[in-house]
Amino acid sequence: MNVTAVKHDKLMLSRLQLFRNVDLNSAEMDQLLSHCDYRQMNEGETLLSLDVENHYLYVIVSGRLAIKLGPDEDIPLTAIEPGECVGEMSVFDSRLPSVQVFACEPSMVLQIEQEVLWRMVSASHEIARNLLYIMSERVRYSNLVVADSLEMQRKYQQFATIDALTGLHNRGWLDDVFEREIRRSERDRLAACMLMIDVDHFKNINDVYGHAAGDKVLIAVAESIRRPLRTNDLVARYGGEEFSVLLPETSVENAVGIAERLRERVSEASPGEIDGKELPKVTVSIGVNEFKPGDSLESVIASADSAMYLAKKAGRNCVRVALNS
């Protein structure tokens, strides 16, 4: 650390945000500035650490500082340019710094000791006003960082719960949301039914037309299933060519009717073209199972899955109800 006491360039100081519109030639301010030193920093030198108390406000005079959330972070959060300040938060609340600050190039900072800063505030309303401005900018920036962080979290959460191919929710989402809906149905003594839907002869589509064609088929099937459902119905891609639908407050008779409509919609939908050739339409086999008090999500799915295999054995492109429903 290289600290030097020099005669202050009042013109240069007046350009810094902290001293804007401040009478630096007053006897009191001149005396207070005499207690402030300049610190020369080498590239990579640390100014503030998470585990070291700080008692100074630092004003960047030249060079550039960088802020990291911790010493192990590779990418700085932001850079601090000449005229800006660091250290004000730990000076105000007398707590350890919340970030790591280091010089990302040779820099010089004016360091103002905590007690001297408070005396400056008492001596000049303009310094108090400038500090409030600096703090408001810091809070505004922090709010933007938080907002960006929340937006990234929302996107990550979406990526974690949405199937990238079909746009439907995925298995992880199903396990969570279907479970809660099953428990709600049990608590409120409401009917609920599960549909397990499987694309017929899907392997043949991949083998004959390729996996790109298989993807188009899955997208078309997903859209055909999603569109006719009610707003409170839950649908997800269970895995591979299999889809799950939970129908809250729905009797098994009504569930069979809904399943038949979905089956018809899928059989009428066109998957589109591959290399200029129209892909063949596909069908689905659907199993229906009615939720009963005490059933777990796993048992409801297993019974609906068994019913779906009954539909396969019955010739496919049909709906079957679980034997225990």
Active-site positions read 241
Q: Sign of dihedral through CA atoms 146, 148, 152, 158?
A: positive
Residue 94 backbone dihedrals phi, psi, to 5 degrees: 55, 40
Nearest Cα to Cα of residue 108 among 224, 16, 202: 16
Got the DSSP string for 22-84? --TTSHHHHHHHTT-EEEEE-TT-EEE-TTS---EEEEEEES-EEEESSTT-SS-SEEE-TT-
Other Cβ atoms less than 10 A from the Cβ of 82: the count is 17
Who contacts 140 (Cβ-Cβ below 8 Å, separation ≥6)?
Answer: none
How far apart CA 317 and CA 311 sit, in angstroms, is: 7
